[in-house]
């Protein structure tokens, strides 16, 4: 999936979503220049995702659907 392909504030390696063995999803910032924000707060390391959480990558807002 390409997010915000025209958004110059998205780093080439910005963030990822990890899933553990129990099916819990986590948003992980991978050292992006501008940070990754989950529900309005910049994340450090990883943060658990819940259905309908919103996260911002650069200037692109996304909504998580799952769990």
Q: Is the Cβ–Cβ distance between 23 and 13 less than 8 Å?
A: no
- pLDDT of the chain, 67 residues: tens digit per residue: 445 457 777 777 788 999 999 999 999 999 888 889 999 999 998 999 999 999 998 888 999 998 5
pTM value? 0.82
- 8: tokens are 């110059």
Where in the chain are the domains?
15-63
Residues whose CB falls within 8 Å of the CB of residue 37, separated by 6 or more in sequence, listed in order:
43, 55, 56
Question: What per-residue confidence (pLDDT) applies to 5?
Answer: 59
Question: What per-residue confidence (pLDDT) applies to 14?
Answer: 86
């Amino acid at each position: 999936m390409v997010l915000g392909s025209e958004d110059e504030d998205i780093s080439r390696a910005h963030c990822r979503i990890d899933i553990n063995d129990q099916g819990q999803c986590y948003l992980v910032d991978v050292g992006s220049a501008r940070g990754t924000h989950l529900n309005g707060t910049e994340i450090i390391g990883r943060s658990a995702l819940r259905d309908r959480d919103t996260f911002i990558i650069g200037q692109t807002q996304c909504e998580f659907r799952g769990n």
